Amino acid sequence: MVRIKTLQSRIRPIESRIRSVRREGGANVQLYQSATWRRLSAAVSRERGRRCEACGATQGRLAVDHVIPLNNFGAPFDRSNMQLLCGACHATKTAGDAEKLRRGELRDGIHPELLAFQRGVANPGRGPTFV
Ligand SMILES: [Zn+2]
């Protein structure tokens, strides 16, 4: 019985994390498919040029990455929270962020602007407009 209770106390935080990740993932899909994000990320790419800001690579696809991750209170539409990364650097950075979050080195939470965006998506026409 003691073992079962110990296991239950370990499982609960994991279940909570899974729900959080699902919520976050769903919200991010809406963000990354939005006209606002496409317009903003295209402008950032155009202004900064086709170059990975971490390793300098100029070949291949570049991702517009959130320096402070969205699930770590990162501002979703703030250009100073964006960097252009090649596929390899983006994968490394994303894995590192996930590991830091898992270890508790990053706080799990969503920036108020992203919450507002989510409400806007949930209530089309009523949400705030971002430039
Ligand atoms: Zn790179």
pLDDT tens for the chain, 131 residues long, are 667 777 677 666 656 555 555 444 555 888 888 888 999 999 999 999 999 999 999 999 999 999 999 989 999 999 999 999 999 999 999 999 999 989 999 888 999 988 888 887 655 544 455 54
Please say whether the beta carbons of 52 and 85 come within 8 A: yes
Strand partners, 72: 109
pLDDT reported for residue 28: 80
Note the pLDDT of residue 16. 58
CB proximity list for 101: less than 8 A, separation 6 or greater: 69, 71, 72, 108
46 C-alpha vs ligand 1 centroid, how far in Å? 17
Calculate ∠ Cα 6-9-15, nearest 5°. 135
Query: Ligand 1 centroid to 24 CA: how many Å?
Result: 25
Q: Quick one: pLDDT at residue 131? A: 45
DSSP state of 125: T
